[in-house]
Amino acid sequence: MTSGIIYEEEQIQRLLEGLIPQEKEERCEQEELKSNRVIVISGPTASGKTELSLILASQLNGEVISADSMQVYKGMDVGTAKVTLQEQKGIRHHLIDLCDVDDPFTVVHFFHAARQAIRDIQSRNKVPIVVGGTGFYLRALLYGPPSGPAPIPELRESLEREADRLGCESLYEHLQHLDPIYAETITPRDRQKIIRGLEIVTLSGGKVSDLPWEKRDQPLDYDFRCWFVYRPREILYERIEDRCEHMLEQGLIHEVQGLLQKGLKDNRSASNAIGYRQTIQFLESKQGEADYEHYVQEFKKASRHYAKRQFTWFKRQKEFRWLNVDIHDIETAAEFIMQDVRY
């Protein structure tokens, strides 16, 4: 598997001009459904992953597996940009709406559910297409979930009390000092992952980022073809802000109000997800005009910062090849990936 490559316009054009012989293309098309190949599409928020995945699935007889840590929750639709039934265009999607918002869902749950989905899809001679921007989940899919020491209730309770007393941000700063690589993969408000990270560091004397799965050199079981699709940052940030505005127009505030009645705040990860945390804070304010303006700006800022963290995380992942989808349109990018998959 090629690693650490950024494809530029000339390389894309050369491949699309048919440098690979036609007879090889025909042979590979016949063989592709027999392969153990899995396509993985990642990229920052608002980069165009969903549109790309739908084109690939329609052309390759594929099905989509979501690798978004929040799309597993029922009702978290607008704020996660969850693909609607109409947008799915009859293409089957997996790992969406798996559980209620007050149920926990961890990277271990994701690993087993995604692996089962891959087996199911391939058993029906279809191509699995994993799509999402949650880097920690994708890393676990390729190499298996990280293993760490079993939690000790007394230590967990102590860290929970510290989080209550000092706040998540304070504990996050401490985790950044102890393990900056792992800290880059989570948000400063993800209490569950912050506490677990500090727990592992305390019990093991090492770093979360040094757990055994970080030392595995080869992905497990499958021939993963991993792509990170992106756009220039000034264009991406504009798209992100437009998406935030669209989510508000589509009823994000109303969605969060309904989820709060279903126990959203009992799920620390879900209630601290970008868009949801800012909306909860707005609903707990006086909801004046200034409060709303502050809410919108914080929502956009958090979304931009998340995209920045996604760039940082995936720069370290040697399995992913980078593809600038602003050079050509999404359809051309899809053709480029399909050419690669077939050879």
Please provide the DSSP assignment of 161-218 as one string.
HHHHHH-HHHHHHHHHHH-HHHHTTS-TT-HHHHHHHHHHHHHHSS-GGGSGGGG--S
- Asked if residues 48 and 232 have their Cβ atoms less than 8 Å apart, the reply is no
pLDDT along the chain (343 residues), means of 10: 56 54 46 72 96 96 96 97 94 97 87 94 95 91 80 87 90 91 81 89 83 57 92 96 98 98 91 95 97 98 94 89 89 90 75
Q: According to the model, what pLDDT value does residue 262 have?
A: 96
Secondary structure element (H or E) that encloses residue 277, with its range: helix 276-283
Q: Which CATH number fits domain 153-210: 3.40.50.720, 2.60.120.1270, 1.10.20.140, 1.10.3660.10?
A: 1.10.20.140
Q: Are strands 127-131 and 6-7 parallel, antiparallel or unpaired?
A: unpaired
Q: How confident is the model over 177-232, as pLDDT tens digits? A: 898 888 877 778 788 889 989 998 898 888 887 776 544 555 667 899 999 999 99
Question: What fold does the segment set 6-147+211-341 form as a domain?
Answer: Rossmann fold (3.40.50)
Q: Which two tokens stand for residue 133?
A: 């921007």
Q: According to the model, what pLDDT value does residue 206 have?
A: 83
Domain limits, CATH 1.10.20.140, in the chain: 153-210
Q: How confident is the model over 28-61, as pLDDT tens digits? A: 444 444 468 999 999 999 999 999 999 999 999 9
Q: Which two tokens stand for residue 24?
A: 């090889």
Kindly write down the DSSP assignment for every residue of 295-327, as one continuous string: HHHHHHHHHHHHHHHHHHHHHT-TTEEEEETTT
Secondary structure element (H or E) that encloses residue 244, with its range: helix 233-249
Q: According to the model, what pLDDT value does residue 21 have?
A: 44
- Asked if residues 130 and 138 have their Cβ atoms less than 8 Å apart, the reply is yes
213: exposed, middle or buried (Cβ count in 10 Å: 0-12, 13-18, 19+) = middle
Assign residue 48 a region: left if phi > 0, alpha if psi is -120 to 50, beta otherwise?
Answer: left
**For residue 324, what are the β-bridge partners?**
230
Q: Which two tokens stand for residue 96?
A: 């969406």
Domain limits, CATH 3.40.50.300, in the chain: 6-147+211-341
